[in-house]
Structure 1
Amino acid sequence: MKKLALALCLLAVSFTAQAQFEKGITIINPSLSGLDFSYSENDKAKFGVGAQVGTFLAEGIALMVNAGADWSKPIDEYTLGTGVRFYFNKTGVYLGGGLDWNRFRWSGGKHQTDWGLGLEAGYAYFLSRTVTIEPAVYYKWRFNDGDMSRFGVKVGFGFYL
């Protein structure tokens, strides 16, 4: 019973938290090292790192820029992109989407460049007024090579300044 009461209290606090989703606030969102787990046709499991930086253009709407790298064998991957996040009712729940550019490099020296669309759904759980833990699920669809498309789960920190 104590666990249920604690869970309900934490849920109530998270929905009443005064989030930092106002115009002009800056977000810095690095993914935790090695906790970007994903699945695709080419590789069964991948671990990588990434970071997003953005600013709120209006309340609840943030323009984001991202970069990432993954040095899993046999493919190294580098990513640059931009997108938008929509936050709902200051609860921390968000949906995001964007366009990104990927550079793939195989062990044998072969290179490939591809564009893609990404979709993301997550939750910004506020540890303090400006620091969050942000678990999310995402799907990255590649334009030229569907086998490089990826579904995954990631955990990151958010800093709202």
Structure 2
Amino acid sequence: MNKKIILLVTALMITLGANAQFQEGKGYLGASLTGLDLHYNAADGLNIGLELKAGYFALDNFMLLGTLSAEHNGSEAVADHIAVGGGARYYIMQNGLYLGLNGKFIHANHNYNDLMPGIEIGYAFFINRSVTIEPSLYYDHSFKGSNYSTVGLKLGLGIYLFDD
């Protein structure tokens, strides 16, 4: 019985700690590994990428994000590329579940440019008061062609910055 009470109190403390992280005025820094053959589109081969993110909570549970990413793949049809973008996250539940909308501009080794709007659903697992592990599923729609639209999985690390 004591183990159940300790587990309940621990879960409650984690939930309350997460609540404080999504307040207006807080900052966010993050990085995600993308690719690693954890996504699919018809044009790529082996794929690995890194995405850097910075964000700001404009309102409680609503974060504005800026992103910068680089990706390498083994396909000759699709070149390595860099991307810059922005978006927003809405934390649906105070426990870390979020929905994201974003857009990015891709430049691929002078071969092509693309504008890709996307959606993402993820979860922020707090490993301490401010650091999270953030797995997410995403879909990026390509205006270049359906072969470049991408469904995938990201595994990220986030740091929620606050004043105290």
Which bin holds the TM-score, normalised by the shorter protein?
A: 0.7 to 0.9
Once residues 35 and 105 of structure 2 are traced to their aligned partners in structure 1, the CA distance between those partners, rounded to angstroms, is 21
Q: Of residues 72, 79, 82 in structure 1, which corresponds to 2:86?
A: 82
Give how far 1:38 is off: 1.4
Distance 1:33 1:153, change over 3 A: closer
Q: TM-score under structure 1 normalisation?
A: 0.84
Q: Is the 8 A contact 1:28 1:159 kept in 2?
A: yes
Distance 1:95 1:14, change over 3 A: farther
Paired AA for residue 40 in structure 1: N
Paired AA for residue 108 in structure 2: F
Q: Is the 8 A contact 2:37 2:46 kept in 1?
A: no
Displaced runs of 4 or more, over 3 A: 11-15, 32-36
User: Are 2:23 and 1:18 equivalent residues in the alignment?
Assistant: no
Paired AA for residue 51 in structure 2: G
Paired AA for residue 43 in structure 2: N
Distance 1:148 1:33, change over 3 A: closer
Q: TM-score under structure 2 normalisation?
A: 0.82
Deviations 1:109-138 (A, max 9, x none): x61001011110000000111000000000
- Residue 57 of structure 2 corresponds to 56
| Equivalent pairs, count | 151
Aligned partner of residue 141 in structure 2, secondary structure: strand
User: Are 2:143 and 1:143 equivalent residues in the alignment?
Assistant: yes
Paired AA for residue 99 in structure 2: L
Paired AA for residue 133 in structure 1: I
Q: Is the 8 A contact 1:14 1:126 kept in 2?
A: no
Q: Percent identity?
A: 34
**Which range is displaced more, 14-23 or 118-127?**
14-23
Distance 1:157 1:36, change over 3 A: farther
- Residue 96 of structure 2 corresponds to 92
Aligned partner of residue 153 in structure 1, secondary structure: strand
Once residues 71 and 62 of structure 1 are traced to their aligned partners in structure 2, the CA distance between those partners, rounded to angstroms, is 28
Give how far 1:35 is off: 5.0
Aligned partner of residue 144 in structure 1, secondary structure: coil
Give how far 1:34 is off: 6.8
Give how far 1:17 is off: 3.9
User: Which structure 2 segments of 5+ residues have no match?
Assistant: none
Distance 1:13 1:37, change over 3 A: farther
